[in-house]
Amino acid sequence: MTRIGVVGLGYWGPNLARNFDALAELAWICDSDSDRLGAFANRYPQAQATARYDDLLNDETLDAVIVATPVPTHYELARKALEAGKHTLVEKPPAMRGEEMDELLQLAVDGDLVCMPGHLLLYHPGVQKLKELVDAGGLGDVLCVYGNRQNLGIIRKDENALWSLGVHDLSVVLYLLGEEPEEAIALGRDFLTPGVEDVVFCYLRFPSGKIAHMHLSWLDPHKMRKITVVGTEKMVVFDDMELERKVTVYEKGPWQRAESYGEWQTRSGDINIPKIPTDEPLRLECEHFLALVRGDGDRQQVAQDGAMVVRALERLTESLGSR
């Protein structure tokens, strides 16, 4: 059974520990905060508990390390894990700069190791349905994709809305379109904490001509977790706030009647609500990681997809800062 060590037992790490305890052997838990560590040492008595990350790296029988610490620590911890020959699942984003991500990618290739970013939303069955619809071609030509991730709060002081909220939508937009943007522009304002943008609008343009937009904000009256894909034949909405209609497919689109001499008209047909499984996305993410560790699937693809997200984030950040 794959032996797993989880580092970082704050808000998110315990969810990873719970899943890996069920799916594999949770061999180590690690947190630099002794209170956090103590609480989970009681919950997982079979796992060795330590505040020293190196203890995990020095255990030759440990197969993989799961990094769930704050974002600025990801690159360093992931690099050390890969250098120690451990497969690595790193919370999103695994690095804050494209160069750092390239280094992680190279280490993974050199060691034939998994370096998987924790892009949770990609494992959401609703997003999987979006991907299936886009790839099957039934939407016609996809013209644009836009994401809404807004709410009132949680107001963060260390990470802006782009890094805190945008990573999710960006990973989905790039996954759906399968292209690297040639243009990435972000506009935003730091209303509450100087230097930390609370409201960010992003625009991406792709080599194929497709465009994407993301509205990211924690200063908003609407709680929205929505991604819309506009195709020439159909349009689809994934709405994670909905309980029963996570995905809605609209048979709507533009069309031209032969006798109308190029004039555009619109058409509206059926609205379909496909059944979406209720599987826990995090469980699916952990299962995918374990499958890659076993050698099933393309190990390098997940790291390359993660690198594309980091590069786009970096360009959006530069654009945000330059304004």
Ligand X SMILES: NC(=O)c1ccc[n+]([C@@H]2O[C@H](COP(=O)([O-])OP(=O)(O)OC[C@H]3O[C@@H](n4cnc5c(N)ncnc54)[C@H](O)[C@@H]3O)[C@@H](O)[C@H]2O)c1
Nearer to ligand X, 57 or 68 (CB): 68
CA distances from 198 to 212, 221, 241 (A): 20, 13, 21
Nearer to ligand X, 69 or 133 (CB): 69
Nearer to ligand X, 42 or 266 (CB): 42
Q: Which stretch, 63-71, 128-136, 183-191, 238-246, contacts ligand X (CB under 6 A)?
A: 63-71
One residue of 6, 29, 36, 237 binding ligand X per CB under 6 A: 36
53 part of the interface to ligand X, by CB under 6 A: yes
Q: Which stretch, 9-17, 142-150, 237-245, 301-309, contacts ligand X (CB under 6 A)?
A: 9-17
Angle between helices 13-23 and 281-294 (to 10 degrees): 60
Q: Which stretch, 5-13, 123-131, 229-237, 268-276, contacts ligand X (CB under 6 A)?
A: 5-13
Q: Which of 218, 240, 227, 235 is nearest to 146 (CA)?
A: 227
Nearer to ligand X, 214 or 230 (CB): 214
One residue of 5, 94, 117, 118 binding ligand X per CB under 6 A: 118
Phi-psi map region of 98: left, alpha, beta (phi>0 left; psi -120 to 50 alpha): alpha
Shortest reach from residue 313's CB to ligand X, in Å: 12
The answer to whether 3 and 291 have CB atoms below 8 angstroms apart is no
The answer to whether 184 and 315 have CB atoms below 8 angstroms apart is yes
- CA 214 to chain CA centroid, Å, is 14
Nearer to ligand X, 8 or 188 (CB): 8
Q: How far apart are CA 56 and CA 300, in angstroms?
A: 23
240 part of the interface to ligand X, by CB under 6 A: no
Return the H-helix or E-strand segment holding 135: helix 125-136
Kindly state the tokens that stand for 156. 């963060």
Q: How many CB atoms lie within 10 A of CB 37?
A: 16
Phi-psi map region of 164: left, alpha, beta (phi>0 left; psi -120 to 50 alpha): alpha
Binding mask 80-109 for ligand X (x = CB under 6 A): -----------xx-----------------
Nearer to ligand X, 80 or 129 (CB): 80
297 part of the interface to ligand X, by CB under 6 A: no
Shortest reach from residue 27's CB to ligand X, in Å: 16
Site residues (CB under 6 A) for ligand X?
A: 7-13, 30-33, 36, 53, 68-71, 73, 91-92, 118, 120
